[in-house]
Amino acid sequence: MTSATSVLDHAPVVPVVVIEDATDAVPLARALVAGGLPAIEVTLRTPAALDAIRAIAAEVPDAVVGAGTVLSARAVADAVGAGARFLVSPGWTDGLLDALEGSGVPFLPGVSTASEVVALLERGVREMKFFPAEAAGGTAYLKSLAGPLPRARFCPTGGISLASAPAYLRLPNVGCVGGTWMLPGDALAGRNWSRVEALAREASALRS
C-alpha cells in the first residue's frame, strides 16, 4: 500500500499550480522552494502540465513535484513518466484507485463525504484530499469526521486562504492544506517570482 504521509508532512501548505507556459515551471518552482514550500502540485489542466512536471523534476532537485487533477489510469502513467513524485485526484473510482495504488508513488484520492472516506479506509487508504473543502463543509465537517473516523488524515483543498488555513491546520486529522493564494494571477502574469517567494514564505510559516 502506497501512502501519502510524506506528502502531508512536507510543509503546512501544498501550492496548487496551473501552468500555461512550461518555461515558467522552473523559476516558479524555485521561488516556491525558496519560500519553504517544496511539495508542489502541478494540475493536469493545461497542455503544458506534463512538460512543466518534467522540467521541475529535472532542474529543481529540492522540489517534490506532483501531479494534480489526475482522473484516469492514463493520466497516472503519464504523470509518473514525467517525473511526478506524488499524485492527487479530486475524486476516485475503483479503477482510478487501482491505478493510483499501482503507480509506485504516494497519492491522495479526493473525498467529500463520510461514505467515501469509509470506502477508502476499507481499501487501506488513510491519507486523502478533502475537496472542495470550503464548499463541502470546511473545518466543521472535518472536525466532525475526526471522532468516528480517526484513522483518516486529510489535505483539504478548495477555497482555502491564508486567513482560513490556520483553522484547518489546527485539526488533528489535517496534515496540510492545498491552496493557490501564494500564486496571484498578476504575479504569475508578470513573472514576479520574488513576490511568489515572499507569499510562499508567509504560507510556510503557518503552524498547526
Provide the residue type at 70 as one letter: V
Contact 74, 93 (CB under 8 A): no
The yes-or-no answer on residue 129 being catalytic is: yes
Contact 194, 31 (CB under 8 A): yes
Q: Which of 93, 96, 173, 95 is nearest to 127 (CA)?
A: 173
d(CA 11, CA 18): 19
Instruction: Name the residue with cell 513518466.
Output: 81
Question: How many residues in total does the chain contain?
Answer: 208
Q: Which of 41, 122, 134, 202 is catalytic?
A: 41
CA distances, 66 to each of 12, 42, 76, 194 (Å): 16, 6, 11, 22
Beta strands in 55-203 (DSSP E): 64-68, 87-88, 107-108, 110-111, 127-130, 153-156, 177-179
Give every strand in the sheet of 153-156, ordered side by side: 110-111, 127-130, 153-156
The yes-or-no answer on residue 41 being catalytic is: yes
Q: Which of 59, 101, 116, 129 is catalytic?
A: 129
Residues annotated as catalytic (active site), given as ranges: 41, 129
